[in-house]
Each structure stands twice: as structure tokens, then as C-alpha cells.
Amino acid sequence: MSATAAKRGQKNWPKQVEAVCVRQGLQLTPLRRRVLSILGESAAPLGAYAIIDRLSKIEGKQIAPPTVYRTLEFFAENGFLHKIESRNVFARCEHVGHAHYGALLLCETCGRSEEIEDEALDEFLKRTAARAGFALQPQMLELQGLCKSCAAAARGA
């Protein structure tokens, strides 16, 4: 993903979420809008407490954890956000309204996450698991590595 594409995604994401909320009759309250904008402006996924801190600054008073966790839960349940379990952070879902499978490519160096949707991958995993008698759920993989620019930087260094 190019830097400009990242920036576009970042800028458009709150608007896309808003559009889906309107279509589906989901309440986009002031609190949710503020959290949306915090997530929308971040280059990399954010931890809950980073969001709490930023929100507290915006609101001018200390916001308690449940407030933010509930908001994040709302976004995750409605397919706007991924929780990245391996890092305890929350990333914008770049495919608002699409199926939730594929993979998140997580950069070890810059912390950014990139989302790919790949039916072939899904199929391959299902078949691989099935050989062990395992029935896979649909899920987003979390894959660790280096993003294009960090890999280039590492090679250059």
C-alpha cells in the first residue's frame, strides 16, 4: 500500500463508517464520533488506553475505561474495527461492510497494519485445517512481518 493510499483510507474511513451507520440505523453519538475521529487520524492501530488518553484531552476530563471499551466494542461488532489480539490494539477495518476474513499484515517496525482480503488464502487454510479434522471459523489472520517501506529501510541500512 502506498503512503497516499494509506492517507486516503485514513481520511475516508470515518465517512464510510458514518454512511454505513446511517444506512443501518446505527446511532453515531458524539462520543462515538470522537472515538471514530481519533482512530481515523492514527497512522497505526491504537491501544485502548491510548484512546482513553486522547479522548480525555479532547473532553477536558478523565474518561473511564469502560466508556472507551464499550465504544470500541460497538465498532468491532458492526464490522468497522478489528481488535488485534497479538498486540492489544484496535485497527480500522479497511473493508467496511465486507466479509471479515483475510489477514492483517502487522509491521514489527512501524506498527502499522494493512488488511488484505483473499479468498484463496481462506480456502487454503480451511483445507489445511480440515486435514487435521479441524473446522475453522471465518477469521482475520494476524501476520507479523515488515511492511514494504520498513523492509526497504532494513535492506538499505
- Which partner in a copy of itself, DNA, none is near 147 (CB below 5 to 8 A by kind)? a copy of itself
Q: Which of 2, 4, 30, 156 binds DNA (CB under 7 A)?
A: 30
Distance separating alpha carbons of residues 105 and 146, to the nearest angstrom: 8
Instruction: Using the rule CB under 7 A, give the single segment among 10-18, 60-68, 98-106, 122-130 that binds DNA.
Output: 60-68
CA distances from 33 to 74, 81, 107, 109, 137 (A): 12, 14, 27, 30, 31
Q: What is the DSSP letter of 46?
A: B
CB under 8 Å to 108, separation ≥6 — which residues? 144, 145, 146, 150
Query: Is residue 75 within 8 Å of 46, Cβ to Cβ?
Result: no
Which residues in 10-29 contact DNA (CB under 7 A)?
A: 26-27, 29
**Is 49 a residue that touches DNA (CB under 7 A)?**
yes
Q: Which is nearer to DNA, 74 or 80 (CB)?
A: 74
User: Would you say 149 and 109 are in contact if contact means Cβ atoms under 8 Å apart?
Assistant: no
The three cell numbers locating residue 64? 473511564
Report in angstroms how near the CB of residue 9 gets to DNA at its nearest: 23
Smallest distance from the beta carbon of 23 to a copy of itself, in angstroms?
29
- Our CB check for a copy of itself shows the closer of 14 and 115 to be 115
Binding site for DNA (CB under 7 A): 26-27, 29-32, 47-49, 61, 63-67, 69-71, 74, 88
